[in-house]
């Protein structure tokens, strides 16, 4: 099979593939698929993301746009300071990409970026929008996720940068999510952190 034929078949799978998926699509062994993928990478038609995971296509993929592929089979979206930066609510760009997921908390290194994964319980998972840069939390949900994770895992609020979020003026805006926090202590700490976030907002 020529490189172009292999590329066309893998591209049809869509975006990101594992070596095993490539082997199945090409009907070759995993070792042969790995060689083909490395050749495509060298030709600029694929990007090796991490062990066993490849992006098919010309050019390097946007790290936030492939967050679901990197975290699969667990659902995930970009949140925390990363989401706030993407929507222009803060100026500083975090070194790692903050990700909310049903997966366990961990750090995932790839060739296009480092993902800092934070676990959310199912009842708090949500509040993102589909964007050209991937699934990105709304500003209010990103702030909530920041405050909740700090309360749940550190037991105290975390310092927040100054925020530029139009219309952020009341903790009641977070009530649909805050009411779902089952632990009373965590809910209290989260609410206190949200009030501080409102105070830090420039655009109210």
Contact present, 62 and 96 (Cβ < 8 Å): no
CA distance 42 to 55: 13
Q: What three-state secondary structure class fits 109?
A: strand
More confidently predicted of 160 and 109 = 109
What pLDDT, on the 0 to 100 scale, is given for residue 204? 45
Query: Residue 181 contacts by C-beta under 8 Å, 6 or more apart in sequence?
Result: 124, 148, 187, 190
CA distance 15 to 37: 13
Q: Which CATH number fits domain 3-56: 2.60.120, 1.10.10, 1.10.3470, 2.60.40?
A: 1.10.10
pLDDT band at 95; cut points 50, 70, 90: very high
> Residue 17's beta-bridge partner residues?
54
Q: What is the mean pLDDT of residues 13-40?
A: 93
Q: What is the DSSP letter of 69?
A: H
pLDDT tens readout for residues 36-45: 999 999 999 9
Q: Tell me what percent of the residues of the chain surpass a pLDDT of 90.
A: 75
pLDDT band at 114; cut points 50, 70, 90: very high
Backbone angles phi, psi at 76, to 5 degrees: -160, 155
The ranges assigned to domains in the chain are 3-56, 63-199
> Residue 137's beta-bridge partner residues?
128
Entry pTM:
0.89
Q: What is the mean pLDDT of residues 95-101?
A: 97
């Amino acid at each position: 099979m020529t490189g172009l034929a292999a590329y066309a078949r893998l591209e049809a799978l869509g975006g990101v593939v594992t070596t095993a998926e490539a082997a199945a699509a090409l009907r070759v062994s995993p070792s042969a698929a790995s060689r083909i993928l490395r050749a495509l990478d060298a030709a600029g038609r694929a990007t090796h993301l991490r062990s066993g995971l490849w992006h098919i296509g010309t050019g390097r993929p946007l790290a936030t746009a492939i967050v679901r592929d990197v975290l699969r089979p667990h659902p995930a979206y970009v949140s925390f300071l990363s989401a706030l930066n993407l929507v222009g609510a803060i100026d500083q760009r975090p070194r790692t990409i903050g990700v909310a997921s049903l997966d366990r908390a961990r750090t995932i290194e790839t060739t296009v970026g480092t993902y800092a994964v934070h676990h959310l319980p199912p009842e708090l998972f949500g509040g993102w929008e589909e964007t050209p840069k991937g699934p990105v939390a709304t500003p209010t949900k990103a702030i909530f996720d920041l405050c909740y994770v700090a309360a749940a895992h550190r037991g105290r609020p975390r310092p927040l940068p100054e925020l530029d979020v139009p219309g952020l003026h009341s903790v009641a805006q977070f009530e649909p999510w805050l009411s779902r926090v089952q632990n009373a202590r965590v809910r209290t700490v989260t609410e206190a952190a949200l009030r501080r976030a409102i105070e830090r907002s420039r655009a109210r």
